Amino acid sequence: ERAREILERTKERDTNKLGVEAMELLEAYGIPTPQGAIVSEKNAAVEAAKDIDGDVVMKIVSPDILHKSDIGGVEVGVPDEEVADTFDDLIARARNYQPDATILGVQVQEMADLDAGTETIVGINRDPQFGPLVMFGLGGIFVEVLEDATFRVAPVSEPEATEMIDEIDSAPLLRGARGREPVDEAGVVETIQRISQLVTDFPAILELDINPLVATPDGVAAVDIRATVD
Ligand code: ADP
Ligand code: MG
């Protein structure tokens, strides 16, 4: 029901790209997202960072900027005392990149533990022949380089989701290669299944990517989400 409301709301807008709403959609489907807030003022950014334990991640929020880090729109590991300056920097970089960009604000987000975790991708799109497809692969900066991904037609069962992990070349990375602690594989499997349910339930969702879904030994977190709706 909540997911339906979120999608209804987006229909009234002049864009078919979802950013923040996509995060709400995932929450409605029980997929963990990091704690955070979207703010349009420097003071609010400082307050938001105080509510979050430790350093934060700050990101520009704009429907005109799809690859945020390409334009310097993502700062990770920001300590509280640098939040105000970072807010100004992010806005300035976005303006510099595209002077007339619509800037919705800055997202202040809890840090995921990338040292203990691995960046993966879970995505969905619609194939004219096969219908809704779910993609799983290695995420982050390696995604284009390694092209390590696998696909299934939604909805995906639990054994199928586990098979998807088996199939990628980097599976050992998730399962504890070189003395690393294995990540929460059940969390990854559940996320694949929930996403496949979401795309099955809502034909209006044309495309959705979680990149990255950070998988750590303690759980998973969808830290960046992009979606296109009909
Ligand atoms: P974009 O893909 O638009 O450049 P992301 O939100 O994916 O923006 O951020 C880029 C990278 O920054 C991620 O792939 C990840 O390495 C890092 N990152 C982003 N958010 C977090 C977070 N909450 N915790 C830790 N690392 C993060
Ligand atoms: Mg990303």
What residues does ligand 1 touch, defined as CB less than 6 Å away? 34, 57, 59, 67-69, 74, 76, 109, 111-112, 114, 119, 140, 211-212, 223-224
Ligand index nearest the alpha carbon of residue 90: 1
10 Å Cβ neighbour count for 81?
9
pLDDT score for 145 = 72
Q: Is 192 helix (H, G, I), strand (E, B) or coil?
A: helix
Using CA positions, which residue lies closest to atom 19 of ligand 1?
Answer: 223
Measured in angstroms, how far is the CA atom of residue 33 from the centroid of ligand 1? 12
Ligand index nearest the alpha carbon of residue 139: 1
CA distance to 9, 137, 205, per residue, from 31 (Å): 20, 17, 17
In our burial notation (b when 16+ CB lie closer than 10 A, e otherwise), range 14-29 reads: eeebbbbbbbbbbebb
Using CA positions, which residue lies closest to atom 20 of ligand 1?
Answer: 223
pLDDT score for 18 = 76
Helices (H) and strands (E) in the chain, counts: 8, 11
pLDDT score for 177 = 85
- How do residues 163-176 score in pLDDT, each as one tens digit? 999 999 999 999 99
Measured in angstroms, how far is the CA atom of residue 224 from the centroid of ligand 1? 6
Task: Point out the ligand 1 atom lying closest to the alpha carbon of residue 140.
Answer: 14
Measured in angstroms, how far is the CA atom of residue 155 from the centroid of ligand 1? 28
Decide: 209 and 123 in contact? Cβ < 8 Å: yes
Measured in angstroms, how far is the CA atom of residue 212 from the centroid of ligand 1? 7
CA distance to 14, 92, 122, 166, 186, per residue, from 193 (Å): 31, 39, 10, 15, 11
- Tokens 């595209």 locate to 98
Using CA atoms of 11, 25, 118, 145 in order, give the dihedral in degrees to the nearest 10. -20
pLDDT score for 142 = 67
Measured in angstroms, how far is the CA atom of residue 141 from the centroid of ligand 1? 10
Q: Domains of the chain (ranges plus CATH)?
A: 36-110 (3.30.1490.20), 114-229 (3.30.470.20)
CA distance to 56, 160, 166, 183, per residue, from 189 (Å): 27, 9, 11, 11
Rounded CA-CA distance 160/139 in Å is 20
Task: Return the best residue to mutate from 52, 59, 74 for the ligand 1 pocket (most ligand atoms within 8 A of CB).
Answer: 74
pLDDT score for 11 = 74
10 Å Cβ neighbour count for 72?
15
pLDDT score for 125 = 93
Ranges of residues in the chain with a pLDDT under 50 are: none
Give the ipTM. Answer: 0.99
